[in-house]
């Protein structure tokens, strides 16, 4: 991941190392979510005060959100709005509140924290000239735009897919730290990136990226692939199974 790091302050550059206890999560029929521990260490000969932020991003998944609006006393879904660039899983953990670690602009640039996720609804936006200013991005959602964006984060958090823990990174001994990644059962499959960023004096000075693969395995994988690659054979097989089971039950009960 490219990042324009400011030149590290002399005398000696600080560095960070990290590793995951598991790099492959297999989603099998007994999958109920997973807890993965990320541990690492800060190396700094000068022992300057350091902050660590861990950002875990799952594969991007466009999100469709609708708002319920009352129409003649009945609550009806509005036209859904599609948000692009939303990760399917997002977790930001740090050793103290993000706002204490770095400035708003830095966090925004790094996408650190759910408030700084680069998600938007491009279909609802257009570029136009307004108040004499060219290329202004105007949202058709109007002033409600923030409500929609907040709703995406809130709904995803409720499903355990977005999380922010400002005490999630714990220094255990000297420069050693650990953080926990809690994947819910509904976590999307794909490649996850865990990025560990070392901050000193409000600036990111070093980072480390670790990848994590979440994949369906075993019977689950076979069924999922068949349902999507050969949907018609899958459908016929499921109906054959259903009719066969129904017939078998009636025969079995007739005998008894």
Residues that bind another protein in the complex, under the rule CB under 8 A: 27-33, 61-70, 73-77, 79-80, 82, 148, 151-152, 154-156, 159, 185-186, 216, 219-221, 223-224, 227-228, 231-232, 234-239, 241-243, 245-251, 253-254
- Min CB(220)–another protein separation in Å: 4
Residue 116 backbone phi and psi in degrees, to 5: -110, 10
* Rama region for 160: left / alpha / beta (φ>0; ψ in -120 to 50; rest): left
Q: Is the Cβ of residue 112 or residue 153 nearer to another protein in the bound state?
A: 153
- Min CB(192)–another protein separation in Å: 16
Residue by residue, DSSP assigns 24-42 as EEEE-TT---EEEEEEEEE
Contact 168, 135 (CB under 8 A): no
Instruction: Supply 187's token pair.
Output: 């976590």
Q: Is the Cβ of residue 128 or residue 215 nearer to another protein in the bound state?
A: 215
Q: Is the Cβ of residue 15 or residue 237 nearer to another protein in the bound state?
A: 237
- Min CB(122)–another protein separation in Å: 14
Q: Is the Cβ of residue 37 or residue 159 nearer to another protein in the bound state?
A: 159
Q: Is the Cβ of residue 166 or residue 220 nearer to another protein in the bound state?
A: 220
Closest listed residue to residue 212, CA positions, set 1, 16, 17, 25: 25
- Min CB(55)–another protein separation in Å: 22
- Min CB(208)–another protein separation in Å: 31
Residue by residue, DSSP assigns 204-242 as EEEEEEEEEEEEE-HHHHHHHHHHHHSHHHHHHHHHHHH
The span from the CA of 49 to the CA of 65, in Å, is 42
- Min CB(111)–another protein separation in Å: 20
CB-facing half-sphere around the CA of 56: CA atoms within 13 A? 33
- Min CB(80)–another protein separation in Å: 4
Contact 16, 41 (CB under 8 A): yes
Q: Is the Cβ of residue 148 or residue 177 nearer to another protein in the bound state?
A: 148
The span from the CA of 65 to the CA of 107, in Å, is 26
Q: Is the Cβ of residue 152 or residue 169 nearer to another protein in the bound state?
A: 152
Residue by residue, DSSP assigns 87-121 as BSSEEEEESS-HHHHS-HHHHHHHT-SGGG---B-
């Amino acid at each position: 991941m490219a990042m324009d790091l400011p030149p590290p302050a002399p005398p000696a550059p600080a560095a960070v190392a990290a590793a995951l206890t598991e790099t492959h999560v297999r989603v099998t029929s007994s999958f109920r979510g997973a807890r993965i521990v990320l541990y690492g260490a800060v190396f700094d000969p000068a022992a300057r005060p350091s902050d660590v932020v861990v950002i875990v991003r799952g594969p991007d998944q466009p999100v469709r959100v609708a708002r319920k609006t009352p129409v003649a006393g009945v609550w009806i879904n509005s036209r859904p709005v599609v948000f692009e660039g939303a990760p399917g899983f997002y977790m930001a953990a740090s050793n103290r509140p993000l706002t204490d670690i770095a400035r708003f602009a830095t966090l925004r640039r790094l996408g650190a924290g759910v408030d700084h996720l680069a998600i938007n609804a491009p279909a609802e936006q257009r570029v136009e000239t307004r108040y004499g200013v060219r290329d202004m991005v105007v949202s058709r959602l109007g002033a409600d735009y923030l409500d929609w964006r907040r709703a995406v984060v809130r709904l995803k958090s409720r499903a355990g897919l977005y999380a922010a823990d400002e005490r999630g990174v714990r220094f255990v001994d000297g420069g050693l730290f650990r953080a926990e990644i809690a994947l819910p059962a509904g976590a999307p499959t794909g490649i996850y990136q865990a990025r560990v960023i070392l901050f000193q004096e409000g600036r990111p000075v070093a980072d480390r990226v670790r990848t994590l693969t979440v994949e369906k395995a075993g019977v689950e994988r076979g069924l999922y692939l068949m349902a999507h690659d050969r949907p018609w054979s899958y459908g016929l097989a499921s109906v054959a199974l259903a009719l066969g089971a129904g017939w078998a039950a009636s025969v079995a009960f007739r005998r008894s």
